[in-house]
Chain A
């Protein structure tokens, strides 16, 4: 399997950088849980008795699992991809060998999925260890978070391959990602939003990932709704993969 050879590269890179990476993965749930779960949570619970009948901590933690996956995906699919295209040109080095664009892309995306898995396992593990939540629903959140992350990462691979500089990336972060985090039902249910903003949440991957994780932990979503959320995320993955293959080919094999 040629993709395994590509993974060897990412494995060696990871062995060199894993310490910093893993420390970050632990820090992120601790900060989110500390500030939102405990800080904001106690305020919400004492003021209104929680959200939709559950404590704010239980409401927010599954959503944070999906949201952290989005952040991890961003890190791995913007500057990283730009680096391999433009800065150290690793993709081009790979493509001078028998490997093709599809194999290089598949290998790198598999590495991103592995990063997402490690980050999500750590996030869920920290949540469980702090006793905020428990049960199998939390475990189910891990693959759901990976899927949510890939629904961001793969289309972003496609977009990054069309960029000449990293400047637009900060715009993506400011104008796309931060609003997404704020308006995708992570911190409050989207039915508190005006209808127009609700529509925005429906078409972006994060809300679907948040709803799936929340359903896994708190229950209460019918199979039809779950299937619809999964279908949207899978559509992002599929269309993104098609687009990424095209933009990568155009960029790297001109």
Chain B
């Protein structure tokens, strides 16, 4: 067994003329939590489906557990746990039935599948709902059940496609906690997400995908250091004044550009209602802005986050 669980070289997925994944190189090692980060349509899910052996590779090379999905799909899937974007539970069946029947698909005996379901009910904190139908459960409960179901085969690698999309903050934190526990038990995780905090919380390493390609890769910290400044100064300017184009924002940006462009070569980004200044010293930048006569409605100095990296790399245009 090699020290790489997933190895992709020039991995490509095409649907007709549309290129969903455009020649990506990825390596996932045992025990790590690996993230695919990107906006909608970046190719994250298509990549996950190829790794999960439920979508054939168009071209390039892909190996999972050292095997080729084209020839060893069932053997690979036997060692995978998959938590898809949609829950795919049978709402008419009970929580427990959804669990043990899934175990049967992996060739577990009924007795073994039922025994494992007990432990997983506890893991998912669903023991007291075991005999209830799935349909009326909350979104968070369904998600926990889906993850528990993915674990019934005791997989070596867990694929999670947007595991917390659509959940409330409490449910998300409970899930992160569960996933962190799994990781500590040695389960390798591959996560797709468009939540930056999720990537920062969960992922040891990640790739940022955009338009089917890899825009950047590294640990969350590395990415921030490489693609962003240490701090970000956010200046909220008067939208009315800026709309009339007189003083306010327009003039403010001009002044800011002069101030920082000349002095530090720092990047300034103008949004409809705000100006972002990427700088290593936010307070100093704010002072400099004041000195130049910029009078923002409010200002905020914060640490740069993965979100800044993400928006820097993938842009602010809405992708649908």
Q: Taking beta carbons and an 8 Å cutoff, which residues of A are in contact with B?
A: 2, 5-6, 8-9, 12-13, 16-17, 88-90, 92-100, 252-254
Min CB–CB distance A74 → chain B (angstroms): 21
In the bound complex, how far is the Cα of B50 from the Cα of A253, in angstroms?
A: 10
Which residues of chain A have C-beta atoms less than 8 A from B239's C-beta? none
Question: Are A97 and B90 closer than 8 Å at their CB atoms?
Answer: no
Which of the residues B15, B82, B101 comes within 8 Å of A8, measured between beta carbons? B101
Question: Are B93 and A254 closer than 8 Å at their CB atoms?
Answer: no
Answer whether residue B73 sits at the interface, using C-beta atoms and an 8 A cutoff.
Answer: yes
User: Whose C-beta in chain B lies nearest to the C-beta of A1?
Assistant: B107
Min CB–CB distance B51 → chain A (angstroms): 11
Min CB–CB distance A3 → chain B (angstroms): 11
User: Whose C-beta in chain A lies nearest to the C-beta of B101?
Assistant: A9
Give the secondary structure class of B's interface: loop
Which residues of chain A have C-beta atoms less than 8 A from B102's C-beta? 93, 97
Closest 5 CB pairs of A and B: A97-B105, A5-B104, A93-B88, A96-B82, A98-B74
Q: Taking beta carbons and an 8 Å cutoff, which residues of B are in contact with A?
A: 15, 52, 54-56, 73-75, 77-78, 80, 82, 84, 86, 88-93, 97, 101-102, 104-107, 110, 153
Which of the residues B56, B86, B106, B110 comes within 8 Å of A98, measured between beta carbons? B106
Which residues of chain B have C-beta atoms less than 8 A from A100's C-beta? 73-74
Question: Are B55 and A98 closer than 8 Å at their CB atoms?
Answer: no
Min CB–CB distance A164 → chain B (angstroms): 15
Which residues of chain A have C-beta atoms less than 8 A from B106's C-beta? 97-98
Starting from the known contacts A8-B101, A13-B90, A97-B106, 9 additional A-B residue pairs (CB-CB under 8 Å) come to: A2-B105, A5-B105, A16-B92, A90-B88, A96-B52, A96-B77, A96-B80, A98-B74, A100-B73
Question: Are B107 and A2 closer than 8 Å at their CB atoms?
Answer: yes
Which residues of chain A have C-beta atoms less than 8 A from B86's C-beta? 89
Which residues of chain A have C-beta atoms less than 8 A from B74's C-beta? 98-100
Min CB–CB distance A250 → chain B (angstroms): 11
Which residues of chain B have C-beta atoms less than 8 A from A92's C-beta? 54, 84, 88
Question: Are A94 and B105 closer than 8 Å at their CB atoms?
Answer: yes
Give the secondary structure class of A's interface: helix
Question: Are B97 and A12 closer than 8 Å at their CB atoms?
Answer: yes
Residue contacts A-B, CB under 8 angstroms, 10 given: A2-B105, A5-B101, A12-B97, A17-B92, A88-B89, A92-B54, A93-B84, A98-B77, A100-B73, A254-B15
User: Whose C-beta in chain A lies nearest to the C-beta of B74?
Assistant: A98
Question: Are B78 and A253 closer than 8 Å at their CB atoms?
Answer: no
Which residues of chain A have C-beta atoms less than 8 A from B91's C-beta? 88
In the bound complex, how far is the Cα of B102 from the Cα of A5, in angstroms?
A: 9
Min CB–CB distance B167 → chain A (angstroms): 19
In the bound complex, how far is the Cα of B19 from the Cα of A216, in angstroms?
A: 58
Question: Are A5 and B107 closer than 8 Å at their CB atoms?
Answer: yes
Which residues of chain B have C-beta atoms less than 8 A from A5's C-beta? 101, 104-105, 107
In the bound complex, how far is the Cα of B75 from the Cα of A89, in angstroms?
A: 22
Question: Are B77 and A88 closer than 8 Å at their CB atoms?
Answer: no
Min CB–CB distance B19 → chain A (angstroms): 14
Question: With A89-B86, A90-B88 in contact, is A96–B54 under 8 Å at CB?
Answer: yes
Question: Are B73 and A254 closer than 8 Å at their CB atoms?
Answer: no
Question: Are B73 and A88 closer than 8 Å at their CB atoms?
Answer: no
Question: Are B89 and A97 closer than 8 Å at their CB atoms?
Answer: no
Question: Are A13 and B93 closer than 8 Å at their CB atoms?
Answer: yes
In the bound complex, how far is the Cα of B107 from the Cα of A94, in angstroms?
A: 12
In the bound complex, how far is the Cα of B91 from the Cα of A92, in angstroms?
A: 15
In the bound complex, how far is the Cα of B97 from the Cα of A97, in angstroms?
A: 16
Question: Are A253 and B54 closer than 8 Å at their CB atoms?
Answer: yes
